[in-house]
A and B are shown apart, each in its own frame.
Chain A
Amino acid sequence: MTGSFRVSVDTGGTFTDVIGVDASSGELFAVKTPSNREDPSRALLEGVAKVLEAAGKTPEEIELVIHGTTTATNAVLEHEFDGIGLLVTTGFRHLIEIARQSVPDGYGNSYFWVKPPRIVPLHLVREVPERLAYDGTVLEPLDLGSVRTAAAELVAAGVNRLGVCLLHAYANDKHEREIGQMLAEEFPDLFVSLSSVVLPEYREYERAMTTLIDVMVKPYCKTYLGAAQRDLDKVTGGRPFLIMQSNGGVVSAETAGDKPVTMLLSGPAGGVLGAIEAARSAGVRDLITLDVGGTSTDVALIEDLKIRLTSETVIENYPVKVPMIDIATVGTGGGSIAWQGPGESLKVGPKSAGAYPGPISYGRGGTAPTVTDAAAILGRLPDALVGGELSLAKDAARSAFTGFGTQFGLSAEEAAAGVLEVAVIGQVAGIRQVSTLKGRDPSAYALVAFGGAGPLLANEVAEALGMRRVLVPPTPGNLSAFGLQVSDVKRDYVRTLVRDLDAGNDATVVDEIEKVWLELEAAGRGELRAEGVPTEQVSLVRGADLRYVGEGYEVSVVIDDLSGDDAVRAIEAAFHEEHNRVYGFSYAGEQQVEVVALRVQALGELHRPTLATAPRSGGGTPVPTGTRSVYWRSTGWIDCPTYDRAALGDGDSVAGPAIVEEYGSTYVVPTGWDATVDHFGNILSERKDA
């Protein structure tokens, strides 16, 4: 590789964040450019040009470009459903109509709940004569002729995307493969996804839905990534263009486009990686991320600095079972609107003022009181944001809150403080989804707060959860783009194989398991080689999904470098341990265990730029830039010192209450917390014992 300037581009709803790192000096350059919803590749190119200019670099100096994109997610959110067809095994035409027969939320909601529209209407589903048994045995051979007829009918009816999901195809992909080959030859314009390629795992409804989401977003992703690649190639002369996936690893744009269902969390994944890097530098290993944007908050739980993947993700009511970072999203962000709900209750969100018109205090025509406005009039925010560029119209916000508070018999301050408290409860609910709902106690983790509005309420969120440490990384507003800089090439492989372990004594079972693992590893090595990762940089991690015989739920475990009987015994032991951790009990030695699926993760380590982040040495007790009156419900208005983050050095420490201001974010340190700056510029605050 000739260049040494690594560029990362994170496309957000309002801005596209771009970071460039000079690998030789470790110097980092950050720029922003407005996102372009119609033509996102234009914003990408503009951003790349802008960061080159900022760094004084030429395009030839680019080493590679890493990109986090919301293209796939937007296609799902915007319901681009027209023209999708589905092929299923005879007898299962109603598979996705029936789904799992479940109605969400409360008892009796079936009276009024309306099932959301299916991705494929029933008349665009065709049955294919064929049948496999659960072990892959062919019970009825495939009739390719009727597939041909069905495909022709569907194309005539306007289908341009086709999902194929045959029963038990995870156990034997023969029939799906034959269909795929025929379609490629005879219907070359059709976008096709096969369930045995997208997700070779049992459970036909979830596999079909994942396959359909994949084929649904495929044209959008292929078109966008193709255009972006072509345009970038013209600039860089063909430097690698890598795409962040939902599993926290990157792959080439071409690979990503072939299986775009893996890109659904491409956007938020970068933030999680950035938070992990910040935590690593600060000596924190167990953390919960709090990424607060304008309209929503993303949270993830990280143990021992390792990303936890889930295959239980639901997007827009549709299950997507490919491995993704376990991220929960709640509809509370900086722009969330406060309103009076039924029963005179005080509500915040999910409606948001967004970037336009934005909060009242931005003075761009916003009229609805938001979380940001509440923070502004309570003195939590300075008089102007983004380094003084955006003056806050605090008077307008205050008069809005005076009116808002009247409905509840509250003063403007009380109402604004109430809005922040209710916003905190929203973020707390998000964290509970990834912690207590999964059997984890949040008090054992540090909260890593970022995104423009993350540090504002972080400590109050932490208090509500009994968490004692809050970490605010440097430039928290840019952490997602930074996270893209520290990613690795990563691909996940899975295959269903249901076998009774019975203590691993059965040599045939051990052989079967080992064979599948070896095949998955070979696939991983081959595909990473094709991605340009040298073999010596590839590492492979074996894993498995297991359950007690008779249960309908699996637990995923990974094991160290073991093979054969040792590996089988290790996954069984790891299963009992993990079961106990997640569910609070295990039946080690009492109940039979069966393996359900085998997994391999192939990892190609990219060398990481060394960052020159260490700030100057601080004097221990920094000098405030001023004092501001700040309101809390428990104290009323109190004087609070303000600090400029850029002026804080290694070892500097401030006691709450205090406000730390920087270019893209404001960190509020409440009473009872001590905040200290470390060698890498992180601010780590700790709760003092009450």
Chain B
Amino acid sequence: MNTTRKLGPIELEVITGTIRSAEVEIEAAVERAARSPMIRDQHDYRVGLYDARGRKLTGRSYGSLIEPVFEFFGDDINPGDVFFWNDPYNSAGSCGHVPDLCTTVPIFVGERLIGFSQVFGHHDDVGGCVPGSLPVQVHDQWGEGLVVPPIKLYDRGVLNETGFRIIERNSRLSEHLRGDIDSEIGACQLGSRRLVELAERYGIETLEAGFDGIIENCARTIREELFPKIEDGVYTFEDYIECDGFTRQLFAMRVTMTKTADKITLDFSGTDPEAEGPINWAIDYCEGRFVRKWMAPVLRCLASSPERAAEIDINEGALDVIDVVFPEKGTLVTPHFGRPTGLRFFILLRSLGIFAGALAKATGGQMPADHETIRIWGMHSRDEQGKLSLFREVLGGGGPGRPWADGSDVVHIVPNSRNLPAEFSEQRYPVLVEQLALRPDSGGAGKHRGGLGYDKRIRALKDCMLLSNADRTDLNPYGVNGGRAGGNYSILLQRADGTEEVLDGMVDNVPVRAGDVVRLCTTGGGGWGDPLARDPETVRYDVLCGNVTLATAEGRYGVRLVGEGPGLSVDAAGTEDLRAKLTAERGDVAMFDRGEHFDRIKADGGVRWPEGWTDPDDCLAGRS
């Protein structure tokens, strides 16, 4: 059926549905063939289909960019080419850090370019000074691992053997790297076939009209369905990273959000200067196209239900409704070339958090609280032959309290990312998992409380080195609309001799001896809404399950309980009295709560704003 038809709703639905299922297929192909546990188990990879102009068509997840191909190769784009890079700066900010290797395949029907298929994944190791290629104490990107600017890994189907060998040689886990790159290319080619099939079925013109329709639908959905819930105006918000690997201080990312009827402008002016350590994020390229598409999905929280939110694909159409303004060169989001970026996942999450916070102010608090779910910890050792064994886990944290529900306990923002079963870890690594638990009270109190974080204990059965790449050991995920902050991250060593050592969240090489126990507690989500408005029965149930302690039930929720075990019940009169007393004592309820550590810093005058800024937290809670 090689006929060209004009685009109608049926063609648009079929093209949209096919591209959606192609995205799932490409993901499955990556997972099937990749080698790195970071990709296969932790699912740290993203895929995308793009049109011939490099506009993103798929929308389940964010993606990299096609612009580096145009910038470096112009018209020299041919069937059989495979483009490849991991350079955070020379890729127009489309790769956040060097472990993300990005593969791009142009899609042709005959000689006509119709689009691109792209996959990037987080590889286990691309060299650098620490196994796993995420060093904490590193001064520039050359210490983080091999940096590859956009190159042709295949030129008209011919492998650049030399380039490939150099890349492979630079990894401590080269056989993983080879498998991973092959899987990315194979998956891209699968995606290409789906677009070609559509072109053969509907003709290129109809297909390209379909691409326009998909992109317009995204912009229209945001504008017509989500924008009316946000009050027009100017709103500021900020959040912080607490350490750059060298210095413990507040590193602020700031945003001024201007909302009009058909546009949101996010101005990052006022963001703190770039850091010496690896917490920078180079996004000030290509009109900020990467970060605009990255941040837009936060708007889905304003959909009428979580089910509806999950249906809304965010593609290139986001650019039509979101603009960005960057400060001058030399800030955390506009770092000078070569600044280290390995742990940019902190600021990546902060960017979502400050957007959500600004939206909370513009919606009377009808946005989820904050959650922090990316951190990596691990242990590495070498066997008698010097072969590296790298045990790494990405442990999630509590989800945010939100207007419609409590936060989910221990989740991960990366979709389908899975933890390691204890029964797998113990077979594979010299460890004994002594506890896999949730930490009581770690979820921020609220009408809808934040989800709980982990309390996991692992005994090392062999001497090894420990690493931790984690933020939020001091600061907490914020609570919204009267909800309280979630609990923070901690990692400590219980030595076999009975002593205990609290470790810094950002460490590269801490010696651990056989018999020592590592205890990890991860962050809870911020709470949403007034804890004194939480249904006392729900508080009773949380106490019965051990999610909330009796002390918190009284102190934070104002709920008096009597009895114990199955006999635990709410003292209704006592609760009413206590809640009346707590309400009178506290006065006005603030929109945001960042936790006690922050409050202390603030009380000591440790939070300072740039010229023209006032305290963005100076705002009262809305209805809950």
Contacts and interface: CB of A to CB of B under 8 A. Distances in A.
Contact of B545 (A121, A417, A437): A121
Given A91-B433, A93-B437, A122-B545, 15 more contacts: A91-B436, A94-B436, A101-B395, A101-B417, A101-B418, A104-B416, A107-B414, A111-B298, A111-B402, A113-B411, A114-B405, A115-B411, A344-B9, A414-B10, A464-B201
B8 interface: yes
Interface in A161-207: 167-168, 170, 202-206
A553 B35 CA distance: 10
Contacts, number: 231
Nearest 6 pairs of A and B residues by beta carbon: A418-B10, A122-B545, A107-B61, A115-B408, A106-B60, A91-B435
Interface of B: 1, 3, 8-10, 12-14, 16-18, 21, 24-25, 28-29, 32-33, 35, 37, 40-41, 43, 46, 59-62, 175, 179, 182-183, 186, 190, 197, 201, 217, 220-221, 225, 297-298, 300-301, 303, 306, 308-312, 352, 356, 368, 371, 373, 395-396, 399-400, 402, 404-405, 408-424, 426-428, 432-438, 454, 457, 544-547, 565-566
B40 A553 contact: yes
Contacts of B37: 552
A98 B408 CA distance: 10
B405 A101 contact: no
B366 to A, nearest CB: 12
Contacts of B221: 342-343
Contact of A422 (B10, B310, B312): B10
Nearest to A125: B545
A64 to B, nearest CB: 41
Nearest to A430: B21
Given A114-B405, A345-B13, A634-B3, A98 B436 contact: yes
A110 B300 contact: no
A347 B13 contact: yes
A584 B34 CA distance: 10
B310 A106 contact: yes
B436 A436 contact: no
Nearest to B435: A91
A98 B412 contact: no
A1 interface: no
Contacts of B422: 92, 167, 204
A637 interface: no
A574 B15 CA distance: 39
A417 B297 CA distance: 34
A436 to B, nearest CB: 6
B14 A94 contact: no
B421 A114 contact: no
Interface string A514-539: 00000000000000000000000000
Contact of A98 (B14, B40, B454): B454
Contact of A552 (B41, B371, B410): B41
17 contacts: A98-B410, A98-B454, A101-B410, A102-B411, A103-B413, A107-B60, A107-B297, A107-B415, A108-B298, A122-B545, A133-B432, A157-B566, A170-B423, A408-B8, A464-B201, A583-B33, A634-B1
Contacts of B402: 111-112
B415 A202 contact: no
Given A98-B438, A100-B418, A432-B25, A410 B410 contact: no
Contact of A110 (B182, B312, B373): B373
A97 interface: yes
Contacts of B395: 101
A134 B423 contact: yes
A112 B310 contact: yes
B423 A202 contact: yes
A326 to B, nearest CB: 14
Given A107-B297, A552-B41, A167 B423 contact: yes
A237 interface: no
Given A111-B298, A204-B423, A498-B427, A584 B33 contact: yes
Contacts of B308: 342
Given A98-B409, A115-B408, A107 B437 contact: no
A78 interface: no
Interface string A430-465: 001000110100000000000000000000000010
Contacts of B12: 345
A112 B301 contact: yes
B371 A110 contact: yes
Given A157-B566, A410-B8, A205 B417 contact: no
Given A107-B62, A109-B310, A425-B18, A584 B10 contact: no
B10 A346 contact: yes
A429 B419 contact: no
B216 to A, nearest CB: 9
Contacts of B432: 133
A582 B46 CA distance: 21
Contacts of A106: 59-61, 297, 310, 415
Given A111-B301, A111-B368, A102 B10 contact: no
B10 A91 contact: no
A165 to B, nearest CB: 11
Interface string A106-140: 11111111110000011100000000011000000
Contact of A439 (B3, B14, B32, B35): B32
A97 B409 CA distance: 7
A552 B424 contact: yes
A58 interface: no
Contacts of B427: 134, 202, 498
Contacts of A108: 297-298, 300, 352, 413
A94 B454 CA distance: 10
A472 B546 CA distance: 58
Nearest to B418: A100
B423 A109 contact: no
Nearest to A420: B10
Contacts of B186: 584
B436 to A, nearest CB: 5
Contacts of A121: 545
A689 interface: no
A667 B351 CA distance: 56
A156 interface: yes
A103 B412 contact: yes
Contacts of B408: 103, 110, 113-115
Interface string A43-59: 00000000000000000
Nearest to B542: A122
A417 to B, nearest CB: 7
Interface string A323-354: 00000000000000000001111110000000
B413 A110 contact: yes
B32 A582 contact: yes
Contact of B409 (A115, A410, A464, A634): A115
B307 to A, nearest CB: 9
B72 to A, nearest CB: 27
B284 to A, nearest CB: 22
B179 A585 contact: yes
Given A121-B545, A408-B8, A425 B17 contact: yes
A38 interface: no
Contacts of B311: 342
Contacts of A408: 8-9
A421 B10 contact: yes
A294 B220 CA distance: 34
Contacts of A156: 566
B418 to A, nearest CB: 4
A343 B423 contact: no
Given A121-B545, A550-B428, A105 B297 contact: no
A97 B457 CA distance: 17
A561 interface: no
* Most chain A CB within a 10 A radius of its CB, from B12, B14, B61, B186: B14
B411 A101 contact: yes
A304 interface: no
A111 B480 CA distance: 13
A551 interface: yes
